[in-house]
Amino acid sequence: MKILLTGATGYIGKRLLPILVSQGHEVICCVRDKNRFYTPKEFINKINIIEVDFLKTETLDAIPEDIDGAYYLIHSMSSSAVNFDEFERISAENFVQRLNQTRVKQVIYLSGIVNDKSLSKHLSSRKKVEDVLNTGNFATTTLRAGIIVGSGSASFEIIRDLVNKLPIMITPRWLNTKCQPIAIPDVLEFLSKSLLNHVTYGKSFDIGGPDILTYKEMLLGFAKAKNLKRWIYTVPIMTPKLSSYWLYFVTSTSYRLASALVSSMKVEVICRDNKINDLLGVKPMSYEKALSRALIKVDEDKVASSWKDSLVSGRFNSNISKFLKVPKKDCFIDRRKKEIENRAFTIDRIWSIGGETGWYYGDWLWNLRGFIDQLCGGVGSRRGRTNKHEIHSGDALDFWRVLYANKEEGKLVLYAEMKLPGEAWLEFKIINNTLYQSATFKPDGFLGHLYWYSVLPFHGFIFQGMLNKLIK
């Protein structure tokens, strides 16, 4: 069958793709920017990649008419502090309009549990999208999930950050809100088994694990899994804004995402029933087992996808192709080069840079820059990296975004997502037996020039020290 997979670069899409391919489907991967899509070699002949932006109707013709099924995994949450719900509605309407012109039989939508009368803006937007999809000339299957637990998920990363960093937590009272978490493998099983399955046509289902827990119990459960002692006290004085700042400064989440999560966490998200479990023969795992699996994936450096790699985790929101060519005109450039002794060694060092590995030289200055950026409302260096030794285009890397990564070519290009009075690139490339390293800054007015000259004294030893460490 020919299946359209929207959101193919997202947290769920990246994990669903290999499952669909293994089932023998021809998958049409729908992305906004091909440069952000990493194609494993074993998938090259089994998938097609098309560029579509559902906010731009002129791009919709790229969707083929002979598709049999489709997954709608598009979410605009936190892409705009004010209008994300409007963007989601428009995207859904354009999606329906185009798919009505195809032979598609079923659309599967992953939404959030919305069985409470008082919905957050985020959950209300998900419900509106569901209503729009139900107007199509195809059968819509909606799977509604609450907290998704898995390596790289936003929920898992927030829980991990809080527990690892805070032995004693003074928390907002919404930590007593109940929810029904579900493991990412179970979500994927529900998604794959619902595909072109007539028993799911035209219906919506709540999906969740067997445990109903408060957020406080989830945090303590994580602490137990890590053999850590933690004490949590809730207070009624934390406003939603203070709660958002609390999450923002303690965890790796962005402030926009923290605000959306806080508004949702005040609402109980519990499944109304679990009839889909019997319909599809799925037995969801416990929260304890979901945590155990996720921690193993993290320890083994086998995180398949991470919410941090989504563009909404930083300030970068354009097609990567626009920034691939590093400018030279009207730019300040710090260029350095050095002969390499072992190409394979240097490549491995470059591909392991950032995150837990650090930047090889002057790490305390890199960390200080990240802390200052966080104080200014930027991403800081909290995001780290998804994998310790692998980098792909579109990945987040501390306060950088990976624009281009080609090991065989020996070239890595990063774009700064920190708060800057201008734009910055960091580039590594190996030509013959020489490593070329360049830091490029395109200033924005007087403040941009002032910024460059204020950090210039540090470049001599930071960038030279890093270059030396990449060689030896």
Residue 244 confidence (pLDDT) above 80: no
Sheet architecture: strand order including 204-207: 47-51, 26-31, 2-6, 69-72, 106-112, 139-145, 204-207
Average pLDDT for 433-450:
94
Residue 443 confidence (pLDDT) above 80: yes
Q: With beta carbons less than 8 A apart as the criterion, state whether 184 and 291 touch.
A: no
The amino acid occupying position 126 is R
Average pLDDT for 429-453:
94
3-state SS assignment for residue 424: strand
Q: Could you report the per-residue pLDDT of 59-103, keeping only the tens digit for each?
A: 999 999 999 999 999 875 544 445 667 888 888 999 999 999 999
Calculate the CA 438 to chain-centre distance: 28
| Domains recognised in the chain with CATH numbers | 2-308 (3.40.50.720), 314-471 (3.30.530.20)
Res 119: pLDDT: 62
Instruction: For residue 68, give both structure tokens.
Output: 């049999």
Nearest CA among 302, 311, 313, 291 for reference residue 388: 302
Q: What is the largest CA-CA distance in the chain?
A: 67
Beta-strand relationship, 411-416 and 400-406: antiparallel
3-state SS assignment for residue 122: helix
Q: With beta carbons less than 8 A apart as the criterion, state whether 310 and 417 touch.
A: no
Average pLDDT for 15-43:
87
Res 318: pLDDT: 63
The amino acid occupying position 55 is L
Q: Could you report the per-residue pLDDT of 119-155, keeping only the tens digit for each?
A: 666 667 778 888 899 999 999 999 999 889 999 888 8
Res 17: pLDDT: 94
Alpha carbon distance, N-terminus to C-terminus of the chain: 51
Nearest CA among 11, 72, 2 for reference residue 394: 11
Q: With beta carbons less than 8 A apart as the criterion, state whether 197 and 208 touch.
A: no
Give the span between the Cα atoms of 423 and 386, in whole angstroms. 24
DSSP string, 159-218: HHHHHHH-SEEEEEGGGG-EE--EEHHHHHHHHHHHTT-GGGTT-EEEE--S--EEHHHH
Instruction: For residue 223, give both structure tokens.
Output: 């602490």
Res 238: pLDDT: 65
E strands within 45-93?
Answer: 47-51, 69-72
CA-based angle 68:72:76, to the nearest 5? Answer: 160
Q: With beta carbons less than 8 A apart as the criterion, state whether 113 and 269 touch.
A: yes
User: Global pTM?
Assistant: 0.86
Q: pLDDT band at 42, cuts 50/70/90?
A: confident
CB under 8 Å to 131, separation ≥6 — which residues?
none
Average pLDDT for 298-307:
83
Residue 191 confidence (pLDDT) above 80: yes
Beta-strand relationship, 148-149 and 213-214: unpaired
Q: pLDDT band at 112, cuts 50/70/90?
A: confident
Q: pLDDT band at 388, cuts 50/70/90?
A: confident
Q: pLDDT band at 319, cuts 50/70/90?
A: low
Nearest CA among 129, 27, 134, 114 for reference residue 77: 129
**% of the chain at pLDDT higher than 90:** 53
CB under 8 Å to 172, separation ≥6 — which residues?
234, 235, 238, 242, 243, 246, 262
Q: Could you report the per-residue pLDDT of 349-387, keeping only the tens digit for each?
A: 999 999 989 999 999 999 999 988 888 878 888 888 888
Q: At what angle do helices 121-133 and 255-265 cross, to 10 degrees?
A: 80
